[in-house]
A and B are shown apart, each in its own frame.
Chain A
Amino acid sequence: MPIHKAGPRLYRMVRFKHLGKGSATSGLKSTNVSLNLVPFVDTMTILVTFLLMVFSTSGELLKAQQGLELPKADRKDVLQEAPIIIITRSDVSFQGTQVATVDALLKDETPTMKIESLYERLQAAYKQRHEQISLGRDKRAKKACDDLKAGIIDPDNLCPEGLAILQADKDTDARIITMVVTTAKYAEFDNLLFAVKNK
C-alpha cells in the first residue's frame, strides 16, 4: 500500500461497503448499522462491579476515612444506626462535620474535659431524636426505649435516645477518647458503641 500524506480519508481507504448498500425493497441507503457491543458490555460490567463495591447496600454503617484505622477486638456485637463521632489522626468530627482538631484538644487543659463544639451538636441531635421518639414517629425506637425503662434490653434493638457510634483511629491518645466520652455524657449520650474490626 502506498504511503500518503496524513489526513482524513475514512470511506476512501477503509471502505465500509456494507454501510452504503441500500435495502432490497426501497433502494435507499440502509440506516441499520451493526455495532460491536462486546466492549460496551465489558465496560458496563466493570462499572457496575465498581459501583457495587463502593456503594454497599448491606446496611454498612461505618464510614471509611483517611487517617482512620479501627482497633481490633475478639468480642463484638452488631452496630445499630446512630449518630457517628469520628476521631481520625488529625480531626474529631460529628456526622461528617469537623468539630475540633486532635492537636488543639491535646493542648487544651480544661478540667471539665468538655469539647464545646461537639457538645452543642450532640445536644441538638439528642433533642431532635428525643422529639421523634416522644411523638411516636418511630414506633420501633419507642418500644426499645419503653423496654429500656422497664429494664429490658434487646441488643438488636437498642433505644436510640442517647445512642451514638464512636469510630476512632487505633493510635488515638486515650485523653481524646476520654474527652469525647465525657462530652457525650454531658449531652446525655450515655450509650456509646465502639466500632472495632474483627480480629
Chain B
Amino acid sequence: MKASDDFSERNDIEVAAESTLTNPVKYDDVVHTMDIAVGAGFIGVGLSEPTSLSWRPSL
C-alpha cells in the first residue's frame, strides 16, 4: 500500500477502531495495526475516532 502512487510521498496515516458492544476491538489489535503501519513506512500514525477519519472506507 505504501509503495502505491497515492501514498508513496506520504508518511502519515490515520487508524480508527470501530469497537461496539457486540463486536469489541481490543487495544492489542489497535497496536498491532499501528505496528504494521509503522513497519510499512508510515511514521506518523494517528489514532482517530471512526467518525473523525479524513476518509471513511466502506466494506
Contacts and interface: CB of A to CB of B under 8 A. Distances in A.
Given A74-B35, A74-B39, A177 B27 contact: yes
A172 B34 contact: no
16 contacts: A75-B38, A113-B49, A170-B26, A171-B27, A171-B28, A173-B24, A174-B19, A174-B27, A175-B17, A177-B27, A178-B16, A178-B17, A178-B48, A181-B49, A182-B49, A196-B31
| Interface of A: prevailing SS | mixed
Interface residues of B, number: 20
A168 interface: yes
B32 interface: yes
A176 B32 CA distance: 17
Interface of A: 71-75, 87, 113, 168-178, 181-182, 192, 194, 196
B49 A71 contact: no
Contacts, number: 64
Nearest to A69: B28
Nearest to A155: B43
Nearest to B24: A173
Contacts of B49: 113, 178, 181-182
B35 A178 contact: no
Nearest to A111: B51
A71 B31 contact: yes
B30 A174 contact: yes
A175 B16 CA distance: 10
Contacts of B35: 73-75, 196
A178 B47 contact: yes
Contacts of A177: 17, 27, 30, 47
A159 to B, nearest CB: 15
B5 interface: no
A2 B17 CA distance: 82
B47 A172 contact: no
Given A174-B17, A177-B47, A194-B34, A71 B39 contact: no
A170 B32 CA distance: 10
Contacts of B38: 75
